[in-house]
Structures are given as structure tokens and as C-alpha cells.
Amino acid sequence: MNASKMKASLALAAMTASNIALAAGGDLGQVDKQPTNWVAISMFAVFVIATLWITKWAAARTRSAADFYTAGGGITGFQNGLAIAGDYMSAASFLGISAMVMSSGFDGIIYSVGFLVGWPIITFLMAERLRNLGKFTFADVAGYRFNQTPIRAFAASGTLVVVAFYLIAQMVGAGALIKLLFGLEYWIAVVIVGGLMMVYVLFGGMTATTWVQIIKACLLLAGVTFMAFMVLANYGFSPEALFAKGVQVKTQLAAAAATTPEESAGAAAKGLSIMGPGGFIKDPISAISFGMALMFGTAGLPHILMRFFTVPDAKQARKSVFWATTWIGYFYILIFIIGFGAIALVLTNPAYADPVTGTIQGGPNMAAVLVGKAVGGNLFMGFISAVAFATILAVVAGLTLSGASAVSHDLYATVIMKGRPPAGTELRVSRATTLVLGVIAVLLGIAFEKQNVAFMVSLAFAIAASANFPVLILSLLWKDCTTRGAVIGGFLGLVSSVALTVVSPSVWEATLGNPAGSAWFPYTSPALFSMAIAFAGIWFFSITDRSAQAAKERGAFKAQQVRAETGLGASKSSGH
Amino acid sequence: MSDMQDPMVARIEANPAYQALKRKRNGLGWTLTILMLVVYYGFIGLIAFDKEFLAQPISDGVTTLGIPIAFGVIVFTIAITGLYVRRANSEYDRLTAQILEDAAR
């Protein structure tokens, strides 16, 4: 074992389960560069050629701003459900959560459940109202009866901040992952991702982005289905037999690592501990706060909300969430099986892992990829690597499109041009923004290479839960909500979620390098507090708002509600 | 953007069928929302306060009670989403179409 590997395994041993949990949120960590993998690269090349061909087809259909933002509203519920799943299942979920299951078993599924439970909330309270009131961005809905300039400025800020953090995490993850899987240099990987993402969005708009996401979702679901099937087939399709093998492997590893008689005696208990909750949840406040960030953050992610405008009506919008929930839930169940497959098939194989320390080739995030190799050989491992790359592309394309719409539709067309942009300029602005965002994403991706960005995906969820979600839900459901309340409360949620994250251990200590224990805010996630601040802020600054504008906004609630509930006057698909 | 003077809006607002639809659909939506919150935070609460409960084996094997519960939460999430979408896309959408038709007359 060379010095760097030694260091890596020590660092891994020092990591607590909660750190791994955070890493699963988006940081793929520092990784060793692997030999160039030609099988994976050629599979990926096939994917790229296919998606570029689709982009060319989509470009011919992308003529108006409506085509660019919503694919003309002509996507079916089933297609949109797959696209949402493709937008949502990131490489970090795929590789990070399977790695987490491999290292700590049951704790991995706690994370998965958190990522899933926001979907019913979207279904029951938001999906149809979004579709009925909205056109291109969630600000159309949040600002339906409000003073356009301030609410759009807020919504665009919320969108851009969430997109920025999510995008940086994805770019850094992409660079690390591609270095690992394909053996390319970090910066080359980041430039490839940024370049392809710009091409998809710039030329193909929402149509190309949707199809990239659908194809990626199908490939990913097919890949994990095959892997989980093969893992289970090794154990006679008995989960109990698979779990028993996992416990046995973990017990052996614990016994091998034991240096004292007490540790040897405790090996069996340590092996069995992967079947129950471990150190992921340290204190109840962190548990609840983190759960709230995941649950309500999902319902405030701008790139996800935007997908509801691509379907023709409320019926299809509901179908979309149902299919998205189904595919995402199915995916997470299989990821758990694959994580146990990694314990049973990867940790035990000296070709992939050190049988004494239990460290695997290329670091813990290679768990799922090595399961692919174990059950399907080199060719399938190449396929899974290419799918992981495609996964990142689909997610960043969705993020960029959503950031571009916030700038062109909310800021340019509505705030600057007062809702009357000269013909064709809105589309030009969104394309220019796409270019700018792509360049910024590449530069930030390179700048953050050596940084610990583990907190960024969690932060994006916390901001979405604390800024976008409260404003959206109260503007939809609460008659007395006013522009002043929504904007002030929303900004309070935005600022407090960022500030509390900065002074939390994951940034203050892990990223900024302050001594352990010096963080002012002790919890994993700010959502419990920042959401409370946002809701209280919106409530207080709304009820104390006695302006004529506020009276007008309260008076407009009933009409908004009629339209939200019945779809009267909802924007129709432009059709082709 | 919103127009209180739109006669369609006023007619729908005055239609008792609309008020009934709103009550029914939102009643179901909120009931299921609360159910989801109870199930999820119940699960998180078990992890936070009673790890041993989840870590107890079901029978002689290694599978713990936590496994079916966690998988159960995932399946439950999908199932109630499906339940709502089914009701909304059939019964409630029929009522909505009727209300819109009445208002247009």
C-alpha cells in the first residue's frame, strides 16, 4: 500500500457516518486518477452522439420562448415523470448512497427516504396549481397576484443561488468522477460537461434537455435493475441471505481490524450494526432539520418546478409526479440492494478491495461501479461509468435551463421590459445567459477542485426549502399573503439558511478549516430554523402590510384560487 | 394579471359545485399530507429516539425490523401519491370539467 492510499484509508476510517452522509449529497471527494478506460469512453461517446442528434432535431423545433422554456408544453405525463426522475437522480445519489450503504448499511436508506418524501407534498399541494397558474418559471405562480418587480427579483435570486450551489457541486463531482472512471484530467472533464450542457440547452432548449433526461433515466434504471437482479441472483433471490452475507463480511473486517481482545469480542456486534441505524443521526434536532431540508427542498427546487410547465394540463402534471415518485422510489430500493452487493461481492474480492482494511479501488464512491464489474464484467462496468457521466450531464442541463429562464423570463422580460419584451429578444437573452452560466460553471468547477463542497447540495436543498418553498406555498394557499411579506420573508429565509450553513460544522470547520467544535451553529442542517424564520417573516410582514397594493393583492386571491383549482385560462401547449 | 371582473371567475366562485370540489380535493390533499408527515417524522423519530427498536431482528435471521419499515415508507410514499393522482384524475377532474362547462354556458 503506497503512502497516498494509506492516507486515504486513514481518512476514511476517521470519517464518521454523518460525514459520509454529507459526502453522499454531492461531493465525490478527492480521488486517484485511474488508467484511461476506453470501453467506458466509447460507450459514453455513443450516448453523446445520440443526444447531439436529438439536440439537432430539437433545435429545429425550438423557435419561440415557449419552446425553449417548456418544449411547447407538449410532453406527456409519463415522459415528464421519467424526465423529472432523470433530473433528480444525480450521480451523487447513485454513487454516494450506494457507497454509504456499503460503509454503514441501514443509514444509507435513511438518506434515500428523505430524498423521496418531498414528492407526495408536491403532488398533494402544488403540482396542479403550478400547472394551472404557471407558464415558464415558478415565479409566474408565486407572483401571480403580486407586484411583479420585487417578487420576480426575489424569485430570480432564489433560483440563481440554488442553481449556483447545486451546479458547483455537480461540476466538481463530474470532474472527480470522470477522472476516476475514464482516467481523464479533471479540467478536461469539467470542460466536456460544461460544453455539452451548453450545446444541449443553447440549441435544443427544454426539448433536448427533456430527452437527455429521459434517456439518462432509462439507462440508469436499466443499469441498476440489472445490477440488483444479478446481486440477488447470487443469493438465491433471498434478501435475508444477502444481508447475512453482508453481516458476515463486516464481522470479518471488524475482527481483522481489531487490536484488543475487547474489539475482537465486539466484532460480531459491529458486523450486525449495519442492519440498524448507526451514527448518521446524532441528535434529534439535526435529524428533523435535515429531514425538513430534503422534504421541502424538493418542493422548492426551481429546475424541478419548471418541469411542471412542460405538460399540457393538470391531469398530466399529476401523472408526472406519480411516475417520478415511482421511478425514484424504485431506484432507491435497488440502490440499497446494490450497496449490500458491494459489501458481499466487492469487499470480499481481493481484485477490487483490500480484504483487511475493506478499502476499495478508487475510493468508496466506486462501490456501485465495481458491483457492475463484479456482476457484468468490464463491458458492463464501462456501461455503468458512461451512465454515471450521462447522469451528471442531464442534471446540469436542467439546472442551467432553469437559471437561464430566471434571468431571461423573470429579470429581463418581466422586470426590465415590464412584461413586453421586443419580439425574439427574450429567447436571445436566455441563450446568452446559457452561455454565460456555462462558462461560469466551468470556471467555478475548476476553481473549487480542491475544495470540500460536500455541503453544497445540502445547502441548495436548505435554501430551496427556506426561500422558494415558503413563498410559493403561502402565495398559493394563504389569502393574506402580500408582496411585502413574501419578499421580505423569502429573503430572510434565503439569507438565514446560507448564514447558518456557513457557521455550521460542515463549512466552518470542514471547509474553512477552523478548529473542531468552534462552529456557532451545531446542527447538520439549518432548515428547521431558517424555514421557521421565513414563514414567520412572511406572516408578520404580510399581516402588518396596510398598503393599498396589499388590499388589492388580498382581493385578487379568490380569482387566483379559482384559476389554480379549475385550470380556467391556464396556458395551453403551443403544439407543433 | 388576475382579473376579478372576469365573469367566468365570478360564476365559478358562486357555483356550489366548485366550493364542494375545493373542499373535497383539498380535504384529501391535506389529509394525505398530514399522513405523510406523520409517517416520515415517525420514522425519523424512531431513528432519533429508539434505535434499538429498528435494530431488533425479525426472526432468527439478521434482517431487522428497520428494513421492512424503511422499505415500507418508500412503498407508502409511492402508494399515497398514486391514490391521490387516481382520485384527482378521475372523480375530481370530471367535477372540474362540469364546473367549467357550467360557467361557460
Q: What are phi and psi of A353, to 5 degrees?
A: -140, 155
Nearest in space to A398 (alpha carbons), one of A576, A211, A219, A135? A211
A381 found inside a domain: yes
Distance CA A18, CA A10 (A): 17
Chain B: nearest CA to A144, how far in angstroms?
7
Tally of residues, chain A: 576
- Residue A434's contacts (CB-CB under 8 Å, 6 or more residues apart) are A198, A201, A202, A400, A401, A404
With both helix axes pointing from N to C terminus, report the angle between A527-543 and A469-477 in degrees, rounded to the nearest 10: 40
A507 found inside a domain: no
Task: Note the pLDDT tens digit of each residue in A85-132.
Answer: 999 998 878 888 899 999 989 999 988 999 999 999 999 999 999 999
| Residue B48 to residue A284, Cβ atoms within 8 A | yes
**Alpha-helical regions (H) of A266-348:** 267-272, 284-298, 302-305, 314-341
Distance CA A370, CA A342 (A): 7
Q: Is B104 on the interface with A (CB under 8 A)?
A: no
A175 found inside a domain: yes
Of residues A116, A318, A559, nearest to B3 (C-beta): A559
- Strands (E) across A476-538 are located at none
Identity at A319, one-letter amino acid code: K
Nearest in space to A105 (alpha carbons), one of A237, A218, A242, A1? A242
Chain B: nearest CA to A148, how far in angstroms?
10
Chain A: nearest CA to B34, how far in angstroms?
9
Say how many C-beta atoms besides its own lie within 10 A of residue A513's C-beta.
Answer: 8
- Residue A512's contacts (CB-CB under 8 Å, 6 or more residues apart) are none
Q: Output the pLDDT for position A32.
A: 59
Nearest in space to A305 (alpha carbons), one of A475, A149, A472? A472
Q: Please count the structural domains in chain B.
A: 1
- Would you say A474 and A141 are in contact if contact means Cβ atoms under 8 Å apart? no
**Model's pTM, two decimal places?**
0.90
A269 found inside a domain: yes
Q: Is B83 on the interface with A (CB under 8 A)?
A: no
Nearest chain A residue to B104 by CA distance is A568
Range of the domain at A48: 23-448
- Residue A392's contacts (CB-CB under 8 Å, 6 or more residues apart) are A90, A91, A170, A173, A174, A177, A193
- Would you say A482 and A543 are in contact if contact means Cβ atoms under 8 Å apart? no
* Chain A residues touching B21 at Cβ < 8 A: 565
Distance CA A255, CA A470 (A): 50
Q: Output the pLDDT for position B7.
A: 84
Distance CA A45, CA A192 (A): 12
| Residue B84 to residue A124, Cβ atoms within 8 A | yes
Query: What does the radius of gyration of chain A's CA atoms come to, in whole angstroms?
Result: 24
| In the predicted structure, residue B8 carries a pLDDT above the cut 90 | no
* Chain B residues touching A128 at Cβ < 8 A: 88
Of residues A281, A322, A567, nearest to B47 (C-beta): A281
Distance CA A189, CA A205 (A): 23
- Residue B100's contacts (CB-CB under 8 Å, 6 or more residues apart) are A566, A567, A568, B12
Chain B: nearest CA to A437, how far in angstroms?
30
Nearest in space to A403 (alpha carbons), one of A432, A379, A383? A432
| Residue A284 to residue B45, Cβ atoms within 8 A | yes
Q: CATH code at A318?
A: 1.20.1730.10
* Chain B residues touching A113 at Cβ < 8 A: 40, 43, 70, 73-74, 77
A295 found inside a domain: yes
| Residue B64 to residue A276, Cβ atoms within 8 A | yes
A476 found inside a domain: no
Angle at the Cα of A91 from the Cα atoms of A58 and A288, rounded to 5 degrees: 120
**From the candidates B81, B87, B94, which should be mutated to test the interface with A, based on the most A CB atoms within 10 A?**
B81
**From the candidates B8, B34, B35, B47, which should be mutated to test the interface with A, based on the most A CB atoms within 10 A?**
B47
Distance CA A545, CA A483 (A): 9
Distance CA A477, CA A367 (A): 44
Distance CA B86, CA B103 (A): 25
Of residues B4, B28, B36, nearest to A121 (C-beta): B36
B7 found inside a domain: no
Of residues A273, A287, A321, nearest to B47 (C-beta): A287
Range of the domain at B63: 15-104
Q: Is B102 on the interface with A (CB under 8 A)?
A: no
Distance CA A449, CA A227 (A): 31
Q: Is B76 on the interface with A (CB under 8 A)?
A: no
Of residues B3, B62, B85, nearest to A244 (C-beta): B62
DSSP B64: B
Query: What does the radius of gyration of chain B's CA atoms come to, in whole angstroms?
Result: 22
Burial profile A345-369: b = 16 or more Cβ within 10 angstroms, e = fewer:
bbbbeeebbeeebbbbbbbbbbbbb
Q: Is B84 on the interface with A (CB under 8 A)?
A: yes
| B8 grid coordinates | 367566468
Task: Note the pLDDT tens digit of each residue in B58-67.
Answer: 888 899 999 9
Chain B: nearest CA to A124, how far in angstroms?
5
For chain A, which ranges sit under pLDDT 50? 1-27, 29, 574-576
Q: Output the pLDDT for position A575.
A: 42
- Chain B, window 43-72: residues with a beta carbon less than 8 angstroms from a chain A beta carbon: 43-45, 47-49, 51-52, 54-55, 57, 61-64, 66-67, 70-71
A390 found inside a domain: yes
| Residue A144 to residue B84, Cβ atoms within 8 A | no
Of residues A117, A277, A287, nearest to B66 (C-beta): A277
- Would you say A221 and A81 are in contact if contact means Cβ atoms under 8 Å apart? no
Helix (H) or strand (E) holding A274: none
* Chain A residues touching B96 at Cβ < 8 A: 565-567
Of residues A113, A128, A280, nearest to B73 (C-beta): A113
Q: Is residue A422 helix, strand or coil? A: coil
Print the SS3 string covering A100-140: HHHHHCCHHHHHHHHHHCHHHHHHHHHHHHHHHHCCCCHHH
ipTM: 0.94
* Chain A residues touching B15 at Cβ < 8 A: none
A160 found inside a domain: yes
| Residue B96 to residue A565, Cβ atoms within 8 A | yes
Distance CA A53, CA A55 (A): 5
| A99 grid coordinates | 457507497
CB pairs under 8 A between A and B: 168
| Residue B70 to residue A332, Cβ atoms within 8 A | no
Largest CA distance in chain A: 79
Chain B: nearest CA to A441, how far in angstroms?
34
